[in-house]
Amino acid sequence: MEVNYVYQKKRTEFGRQCLFSDKGPDLIDNYPAHKEWMKSFILRDPVRKASQNAPVQAEHEINTLRAEKANSGMNHFEGGWPKDVNILDEDSTKRYRRKIEKDDAYNPTIFQLAQCMEDCILQNNAINIYQQYFDDVEPAAFVEPSSARIVNVFQDQCFAKRPITHVSWAPENGTRLVMSHCSLAYQSKGDDTSSYIWEMENPNTPFLVLKPEYPSVCLEYSPKDGNLLISGQMDGRVAIWDIRKGSEPVDHSQIEVSHRYPVFKALWIASKTGCEFFSASPDGKLVWWDMRKLGDPLEVLMVDLVDDRFQSLTNALGVTALQYESTVPTKFMVGCENGEIYSGNRKGKTALEKLNIKFDGQLGPVLALERNAAYMKNFLSIGDWTAKIFAEDCRESPLMWTTYHKTPLTDGAWSPSRFSVYFTTRADGILDIWDILQQQKQALCGIKVCDVPLKCLRCHEMGKLVAVSNTIGTTYLIELSENLTMSSKSEKILLNAMLERENKREKILEARNREIRLKLQQQQQLAEQLAEEGVESQEPVEENFETTWLIPEVKQTEEDFLKDVADEIKKRSPQQPEEDTASKAEEADDF
């Protein structure tokens, strides 16, 4: 079946009929030359003229208007109420609500608005295209280079620049930090004893100037109240500060019951009242205080491990570093001037019971001690030219340590947000950032902060900022990159596996060393017994078994080293007689 449809239209509606013809071109316009105008013609050479085919239209009907944007705000305070309703009267507002709810147009209006609200909720609940689809698969981390930059600088307001000995951040993610200025040099001159509290965003003017009677060696914020501080002073006393009451201390201890040397460290203790703290000094005393009665200390402990019955300051070891963790309220750690580290417990009755664990820490004074935030049994020690990581289970040697730097280290701290990262400051003005999961022989990155020695550092609670101070009274606020702040899910597992592996290795070495020591001791006792009976021993026994190499591989390495030294001496002096060469070889063996 064929379907046809006929369109009908009048001829007049088609328009004018086109009539074509065979015709040549016609000249429509002709401009003949004017002879009189030719006389006034001036020849101009060269001639520069620009032309464009399309006409220039600066404004046209199709051009759109420019969108003008403006920022404006609106304060909405109980809007939509009629003038005759008092919004402060609760009964009046309730009556008006009941009146509106009884209106016939109330329900249709609510249903109409609910539909728009539902569309918005569905849009918010839509699938996020950037969200990880599989829950059990960790997304690939963004490869970001480790970096740090200085974002603020706080300078000493005193004319004579003084070193900064301690820095403390305000609690609860605070934006304030307090710095204690004090020169510990012998007979140092200076009349200004002030220290400063700074706002993080205002480096020009201090928030508050603290004016003690003597310079403050350390200032520490209370972890529960951002208005309370404790300070250890140059004269050996401790003081309490309340910044709401002014720039002077509200109370201080008596000189008779205080320290005999400057108070290097003072830390708050986790207690029910939140008023207890303890302090340490190079005089060898640890004193526990209650801020409500500073005239009578709660407890005094002398680091005298020679005679436990009659403790005296004569044999006490000077304390240069102090560590306390609120999660283990009865434990604490002290670092001494001779490089030894003691882990203590307040529950002990005598000094030997309170300081029962000893570590051979540094070659010089221990300058910093801090436990890892995730693994409390592992702690960081800073002193001489190295930084060492210890475990409480291994007492003979550290788990990890850095190589010896060319300049001494002055301070160090763990990162509170990334548990495998720690920071160290050096005497050449460099801040080193270490990550033991990535590399252990050298720092992950280092930033040249200044040209003078750095003195101390303190990390913010969030781990994003680090405050670093130097010996001329300047503090630098350093911001870290995101990969040094945020930790991944697998990082804690990898760090735990690494620490356990190193712990097992150290325990195996300690057991091996104890077996060799016991064997040597038995040989020594047997030799002494045979000597008393007049019988010569068939086996040679080392007289000083403590200095005998405990591991054969180490002894072989030493012999190879001495042999290489002797060969190098022969190469450098081939023309000398053999007697001189032999004597130098003997000197190398003695070395």
Q: Per-residue pLDDT averaged across 558-574, rounded?
A: 80
pLDDT given at position 588: 45
Q: E-strand spans in 222-372?
A: 228-233, 238-242, 251-252, 265-268, 276-280, 285-290, 299-302, 319-324, 331-336, 340-345, 355-360, 366-371
Q: What is the DSSP string of 199-232?
A: ETTB-SS-SEEE--SS-EEEEEE-SS-TTEEEEE
Task: Give yes or no for residue 386 having a pLDDT over 50.
Answer: yes
pLDDT bin (cut points 50, 70, 90) of residue 552 is: low
Give the residue extent of every domain in the chain. 148-485, 488-550, 551-591
Backbone angles phi, psi at 548, to 5 degrees: -70, 140
The CATH number given to 148-485 is: 2.130.10.10
What is the structure's pLDDT at 547? 42
What's residue 129's pLDDT? 59
Answer for the pair 213, 230: CB distance below 8 angstroms, yes or no.
Answer: no
Q: What pLDDT does 541 receive?
A: 47
Question: What is the arithmetic mean of pLDDT over 129-158?
Answer: 73
Q: Tell me the pLDDT tens digit for each residue of 169-212.
A: 998 888 899 999 988 877 676 677 889 999 988 888 889 999 88
In percent, the amount of the chain with pLDDT more than 70 equals: 85
Residue 138 has pLDDT above 70, yes or no: no
Does 518 score more than 70 pLDDT? yes
Cα torsion 494, 495, 497, 501: sign: positive
Number of H helices, E strands in the chain: 7, 28
- Name the helix (H) or strand (E) containing 187: none
Of 152-161, 254-263, 316-325, 549-558, the one with minimum mean pLDDT is 549-558
DSSP one-letter code for 493: H
pLDDT at 173: 81
Q: Is the pLDDT of residue 577 over 50?
A: no
CA dist 462 and 480 (Å) reads 11
What angle is formed at CA 579 by the lines to CA 573 and CA 581, rounded to 5 degrees? Answer: 30
pLDDT at 549: 42
CA distance 546 to 340: 20
Q: Residue 23: pLDDT above 70?
A: yes
For the stretch 395-417, pLDDT in tens is: 878 888 898 888 999 999 999 88
- Stronger pLDDT, 304 or 342, i.e. the higher one: 342
Q: What is the pLDDT of residue 225?
A: 86
Per-residue pLDDT at 538 exceeds 80: no
Percent of the chain with pLDDT over 90: 16
State the chain's mean pLDDT as an integer.
Answer: 82
Instruction: Say if residue 579's pLDDT is above 50.
Output: no
Provide mean pLDDT across the span 8-30.
Answer: 79
pLDDT for the residue 95: 86
Report yes or no: 206 and 157 within 8 Å, Cβ to Cβ. yes
| Per-residue model confidence (pLDDT) at position 550 | 44
pLDDT at 469 over 90: yes
Confidence band, pLDDT 50/70/90 cuts, at residue 536:
low
Where residue 229 falls among pLDDT bands split at 50, 70, 90?
very high
Global pTM?
Answer: 0.64
Q: For residues 543 and 479, which has the higher predicted lDDT (pLDDT)?
A: 479
Q: Which of 64-78, 222-236, 237-251, 336-350 has the lowest mean pLDDT?
A: 64-78
Average pLDDT over every residue of 264-292:
89
pLDDT at 3 over 80: no
**Residue 586 pLDDT > 60, yes or no?**
no
Region of poorest pLDDT, from 35-44, 46-55, 225-234, 237-246: 46-55
Give the Cα separation of 409 and 403 in Å (integer): 12
Q: Enumerate the H helices of 534-577 as residue ranges.
A: 552-572
Per-residue confidence at 584, pLDDT binned at 50, 70, 90?
A: very low
d(CA 303, CA 278): 14
| Inter-helix orientation angle 552-572/578-590, to 10° | 150
Task: Taking residues 138-145, report their average pLDDT.
Answer: 61
* Residue 505 pLDDT greater than 50, yes or no: yes
DSSP string, 126-180: SPPTTS-S-TTSPPPPP-----EEEEEEEE--SSS---EEEEEEPTTT-SEEEEE
SS3 state at 430: strand
